[in-house]
Amino acid sequence: MKKISLRELQLIELDVLEYFVKFCKKNNLRYVLIGGSLLGAIRHKGFIPWDDDIDIGMPRPDYERLKKLTLNTEKYKMLTFDRMELDIPLIKIVDKRTVVESSEDGKHHVWIDVIPIDGLPADDIVTSNLYKKIFFYRKISILCRLRWGQGRSFIKKLSGIFLKPLAQLLWGSKKCAEMLEEIATSNDYETSDYVGVVTWGRYGVGEKMPKDKFEKFTEVEFEGKFFQATSYWDSYLTGIYGDYMKLPPLDQQMGDHQITAYIE
């Protein structure tokens, strides 16, 4: 197999995204760019130069419908936690021609993440407490999946060696995923006034959006093409990144995953 560069990886992910968007339109599924992918669209009109993945948000009702559909072609496949194909509570759309070696998940395929948008409590204190539980199980999940001796820092490498066995014994990836799903769905999307990424949320209350504003969609440019985003994007990006148009320091300009990718 041929080793590919970060830019080649990004273009493969873009190809997966375009296919998935067509699939969503065909099946009347709502989706939006979120997180770093939305930030990239607004600040760079495409990928953040050092980013190595694409994040898609999907309202929980649409996400549940997606899980019941079949997406498996010669080139693409949908993987879900419900079918025991993943040990984290989200959906991945992968390019089957590729292989990725990751510090967390071992070998898999180049992917885009589809993450549910769930209901959130109206009270910020209650929301903050909910996210504290999410952060705990998310960290344990990452620790359970960390490969031996891997991690960007010495501390993370030691954690993988000494804490991983304890995390697997007390919780394990499957239990963490089930707890994340249980917490995330404790507030019904349809009856909630506020929504946000919960199961894999990283920014706490900053993820929170009024549902009526979130559901007003617009299009944003990404790599010369246009994809859906919430029209509430400015407030959303400010909530999770602060001054989002300002570039981070050079030592923080790196992707979320330690990966090496190959293609047939």
Q: Structural domain tally of the chain? A: 1
How far is Cα 205 from Cα 235, in angstroms, rounded to an integer? Answer: 12
pLDDT at 99: 95
How far is Cα 92 from Cα 64, in angstroms, rounded to an integer? Answer: 14
pLDDT at 101: 87
Contact by Cβ (8 Å): 89, 115: no
Q: Which residues of the chain have pLDDT under 70?
A: 103-106, 147-162, 165-166
Q: What is the mean pLDDT of the chain?
A: 91
Q: What 8-state DSSP symbol labels residue 260?
A: E
The whole domain housing 20 covers 2-263
Contact by Cβ (8 Å): 98, 12: yes
pLDDT at 154: 43
How far is Cα 117 from Cα 179, in angstroms, rounded to an integer? Answer: 16
| pLDDT tens figures, 14-66 | 999 999 999 999 999 999 999 999 999 999 999 999 999 999 999 999 999 99
The pTM assigned to this predicted structure is 0.91
What's CA 122's distance to the chain center, in Å?
24
